[in-house]
């Protein structure tokens, strides 16, 4: 039985990142993937959806100009959309494949490959033994350490029939052969709202989205979700707020363009029924850890048969679980962080748990949303006093030059003399480019006055972040007491209970 320092089960972003860090540390590594290298990160997740988003945004921007000039809107053929999608996925897959092929040619001091890649389904059959099931015959290896990075799959329920043709998951949506005339999206979280943005901006689909809460993106501040919702509705998206999905059925005898019927109920007792061509289920994802045989490796499970974790570590200290397979924090950048962190723990280089304190996120909506650290509703839920400054994009020279003035910056700092940065939200053009410096400031506990004194390029979107810092230090160029509809500078603290 061949022996490795580290066996990694799953070749998505988290598994690949773990393998590369292990090679840095001189480990002999085998990476096992049952399907396609790159996983959801390439084929039905971040890369694929963002390629569609980029195309949809360009179509939308073009059609804004067309409408202003009284011309017919652009209708991009689905073959062109699909071609661009396939090209993007191929380029990324090719990069992964070439990289791993070249690494596999490297040898250690004993003449053995430092890195090996195996295609097959891996299961643990003993604490240090992995069985790799392949069409050409099973293979058994021994590993001093094991990292599980098997990703996740869309959540489905028995109540919502998912046939892969009329009712789709977020994985199956990329297999469409043509844009639907109409679609209902079940779930108003990030994934649901991103696909609502994509289809509405492509301009070929009437989009409905079902929101059980009173607003979409309920984990974000109300000003963020309300701006996004307003822009969706401006493009014709129908948002069913405070709606409970009572029934969703496929009508086999109905017209080809109206196959799915759904019924909603509301708190006031009303009921409504709608018929659309397709339905997309966007109700979360579940970890792919249920068929790995982890119990045979001695890994303790909870009542739902999910591995018990402390950070990324299981009850078996030589086995870690990272990325989507943890069942939480399902983002590519966090999966890569966890993969690298787990390797360093297994190598004895660190004992701390991964930190998500300054996690940066991007939501590919229209307008784009980016954030880092805490938002206002999180501060209030935790009883954290804060000061907040917000500036509208209509005050920024670069946004005016781009003719893209929808959006705002919002910076939160501690309510004390130091005013250390604790969070930021950016909504609008170039939002994702504006948050990284603030992420570093949060990590280092930097006072906001440092940001106020930086020299930013002009004209740039990031000048808005600096103007927020200046408002908080009382040195802003535009004064909130004068331009109160575009600038805000406030404080919040928990109410003191009377004795």
Q: What would the mean pLDDT of 343-355 be, rounded to a whole number?
A: 95
pLDDT at 190: 94
The model's pLDDT over 152-170, given as tens digits with 9 standing for 90+, comes to 999 999 888 898 999 999 9
Complete domains list, the chain, with CATH:
2-43+86-153+286-346 (3.50.50.60), 167-283 (3.50.50.60), 367-491 (3.30.390.30)
- Give me the residue label for tokens 């991009």: 76
Directed axis angle between helix 46-68 and helix 78-103, to 10°?
Answer: 150
In the predicted model, is pLDDT for residue 10 greater than 90?
yes
pLDDT at res. 394: 95
Q: Is the pLDDT of residue 63 over 90?
A: no
Average pLDDT, the chain: 93
Long-range pairs for 232-238: beta carbons < 8 A, 24 or more residues apart = 232/193, 232/196, 232/197, 232/200, 232/207, 232/366, 235/60, 235/200, 235/201, 235/366, 236/200, 236/206, 236/207, 237/196, 237/200, 237/207, 237/208, 237/209, 238/206, 238/207, 238/208, 238/209
Q: Which has the minimum average pLDDT: 262-271, 439-448, 484-493?
A: 439-448
Reported as a single tens digit per residue, the pLDDT across 198-212 is 999 999 999 999 999
Bridge partners for 261 per DSSP = 249, 275
**Prediction pTM value:** 0.92
3-state secondary structure of 47: helix
């Amino acid at each position: 039985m061949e022996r490795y320092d580290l066996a990694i089960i799953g070749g998505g972003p988290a598994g690949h990142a773990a393998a590369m860090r292990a090679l840095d540390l001189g480990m002999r590594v085998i990476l096992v993937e049952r399907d396609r290298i790159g996983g959801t990160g390439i084929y039905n997740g971040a890369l694929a959806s963002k390629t569609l988003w980029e195309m949809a945004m360009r179509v939308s921007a073009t059609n804004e100009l067309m409408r202003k000039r009284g011309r017919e809107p652009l209708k991009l053929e689905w073959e062109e959309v699909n071609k661009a999608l396939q090209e993007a996925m191929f380029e990324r897959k090719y990069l992964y494949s070439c990289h791993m092929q070249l690494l596999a040619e490297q040898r250690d001091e004993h003449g053995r490959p430092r890195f090996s890649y195996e295609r097959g389904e891996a299961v643990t059959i003993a604490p240090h033994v992995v069985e790799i099931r392949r069409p050409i015959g099973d293979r058994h290896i021994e590993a001093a350490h094991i990292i599980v990075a098997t990703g996740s799959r869309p959540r489905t329920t028995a109540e919502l029939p998912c046939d892969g043709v009329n009712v789709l998951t977020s994985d199956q949506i990329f297999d469409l052969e043509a844009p639907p005339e109409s679609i209902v999206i079940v779930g108003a979280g990030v994934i649901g709202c991103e696909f609502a943005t994509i289809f509405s901006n492509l301009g070929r689909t009437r989009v409905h989205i079902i929101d059980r809460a009173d607003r979409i993106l309920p984990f974000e501040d109300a000003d963020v979700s309300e701006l996004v919702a307003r822009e969706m509705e401006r493009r014709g998206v129908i948002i069913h707020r405070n709606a409970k999905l009572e029934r969703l059925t496929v009508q086999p005898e109905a017209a080809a363009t109206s196959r799915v019927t759904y019924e909603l109920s509301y708190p006031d007792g009303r009921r409504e029924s709608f018929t659309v061509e397709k339905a997309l289920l966007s109700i979360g994802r579940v970890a792919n850890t249920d068929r790995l045989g982890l119990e045979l490796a001695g890994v303790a499970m909870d009542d739902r048969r999910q591995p018990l974790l402390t950070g990324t570590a299981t009850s078996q200290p030589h086995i870690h679980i990272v990325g989507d397979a943890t069942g939480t924090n399902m983002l590519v950048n966090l999966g890569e962080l966890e993969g690298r962190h787990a390797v360093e723990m297994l190598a004895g280089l660190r004992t701390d748990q991964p930190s998500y304190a300054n996690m940066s996120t991007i939501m590919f909506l229209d307008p784009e949303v980016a954030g880092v650290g805490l938002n206002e509703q999180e501060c209030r839920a935790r009883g954290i006093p804060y000061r907040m400054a917000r500036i509208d994009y209509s005050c920024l020279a670069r946004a005016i030059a781009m003719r893209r003035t929808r959006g705002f910056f919002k910076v939160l700092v501690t309510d004390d003399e130091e005013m250390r940065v604790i969070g930021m939200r950016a909504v609008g053009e170039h939002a994702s480019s504006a948050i990284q410096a603030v992420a570093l400031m949060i990590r280092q506990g930097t006072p906001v006055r440092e940001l106020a004194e930086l020299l930013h390029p002009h004209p740039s979107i990031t000048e808005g972040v600096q103007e927020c810092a200046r408002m908080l230090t009382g040195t802003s160029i535009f004064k909130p007491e004068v331009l109160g509809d575009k600038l805000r500078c406030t404080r919040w603290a928990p109410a003191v209970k009377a004795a």
